Amino acid sequence: MAAPALALLGGPPVWSRGWPSWPLTGPATGRHLLDVLDSGRWAVSGPWTGRESWNRRFCRRFADYIGVRFCHTVDHGSSALLAAFLALDLGPGDEVIVPGLTWVACASAVLRVGATPVLVDISPDTLCLDPAAVEAAITPRSRCILMVHLYSCMADVEAIGALAARHGLAVVEDCAQAHGATWAGRRAGSFGRIAAFSMQQGKVLTAGEGGAVLTDDPVLADRLERLGSDGRRVSRTPPRPGRPDLDEVGGLQGMNLCLSEFQAALLCDGLDRLEAQTETRTTRAAGLDRALGALPLLETLRPHAGNDRRAYYHYAIRLAPAVTGQVTAARVCDALGAELGTWVHGPYTPLSRHPLFAPGTLRALPAGLPAPALPVAEAEAGRTVLLHHALLLAGEDAMAAIAEAFAKVLGRLDALAGA
């Protein structure tokens, strides 16, 4: 009997039973939101109600979870990066080293403080910053390294930390995609001078939109707090009911980057489930690595040995050159998506040619930035396939279907190439 046709070409799909939706809620989610609704305090700047705000509660719990002293919530991960660079007092004339493969906000945040993003290449093992490329990009104007943990691997925190120390640079750790990951038992977010998290809809801990900045440094923590709340900070004297529990400290030009109480309540709720979900995703991903890594036309990532627990924002797998020599990775993604009934896609376009990275289009931003060649980022972006983390919350039968879909599509490349 002939093998079934690819679903993309009209054949039967491998899996049609659907996937876990994302974001997920729990039994207490609605109750927490109603609590905020009825409390009369919807914002950090709302009246004190006689008990700790949801924002403070989340900050206390998240700092404890990551293992650092201070946490402040912000409205987006992009704002977390902006606040981090401003807290470090970066500005015109300063260079920030940014991986060439990451979300555009990483480079845009550098531009927003007037500094220059210097794009550098990535490691093919992890898709994160290549320490040798970082070292080669350091100039007398370098001030900071933006160390992004991408998709499911942590960047080499030891090598980059050592480089930064040797050259007197600050490390900002972008953990938008790494909630719960560890390196030698220490959580991502505890390695940089400041860590920036995103809690946007697709992230493993989410309030729809949201973010957080964390640090161990009390001076930076105070700057981050005032920067993000128009120069105010949470009162250190006993608050009075009916008035905001914020002191108008000033002394630093801030902005309003505050997260609402509804969002903070959602983050507290999601944090209750994060560990169990991370365990499930890690187990499922390890199974996929075994099944897909055994297929001759696929290559798994090779995380650093120190990265002893991975957090999966996306599960990533690479197509061998024998595949991309015949069909584009985008075509393979479409075929897999049709087999599985979900969106399967590739990584970001490297920032040196990303259509969303367009500094010269606003007078307020520096123009004429160089667009360096990023051969590894280009090669890996052209052959990597990503699956969203929600898929990893499905059962073992669904993981078997993913493996079957890959085997089916890779076994019919001729049909895919010819169609």
Q: Which residues bind ligand PLP (CB under 6 A)?
A: 76-78, 102-103, 105-106, 148, 174, 176-177, 198, 200, 211
Measure CA of the first residue to CA of the last residue in the chain; give whole Å.
Answer: 21
Do you know the residue count of the chain? 419
Residue of minimal CB distance from ligand PLP? 77
The residue (of 101 and 398) whose beta carbon lies closer to ligand PLP is: 101
Closer to ligand PLP at the Cβ: 102 or 277? 102
For residues 256 and 236, give the distance between their C-alpha atoms in angstroms, rounded to a whole number: 20
Catalytic residue among 143, 187, 193, 203: 203
SS3 call for 170: strand
Q: Which has the closest alpha carbon to 346: 308, 321, 306, 377? A: 377
Cβ-based nearer residue to ligand PLP, 356 or 362: 356
Nearest Cα residue to 261 out of 52, 27, 26: 52
Contacting residues for 331 by C-beta, under 8 A, at least 6 apart: 416
Residue with smaller CB distance to ligand PLP, 105 or 311:
105
Rounded to a whole number of angstroms, the minimum distance from the CB of residue 197 to ligand PLP is: 9
CB of 288 to ligand PLP, least distance (A): 21
Closest contact distance (angstroms) between CB of 103 and ligand PLP is 4
- Is 408 assigned a catalytic role? no
CB of 357 to ligand PLP, least distance (A): 13
Give the nearer residue to ligand PLP in terms of CB position, either 173 or 222.
Answer: 173
Residue partners of 315: CB distance under 8 A and separation at least 6: 151, 152, 285, 288, 386, 387, 389, 391, 392
Describe the strand order of the beta sheet including 95-99 as a list of residue ranges: 70-74, 211-215, 194-198, 170-174, 142-148, 95-99, 116-120
The least CB distance from residue 177 to ligand PLP, in Å, is 5
Least gap, CB of 236 to ligand PLP (angstroms): 30
Judged by CB, which is closer to ligand PLP: 177, or 278?
Answer: 177
In sequence order, what DSSP letters do the residues of 239-265 get, joined into one string? P-TTS-SEEE--SS---B-PPPHHHHH
Q: Which residues are catalytic?
A: 203
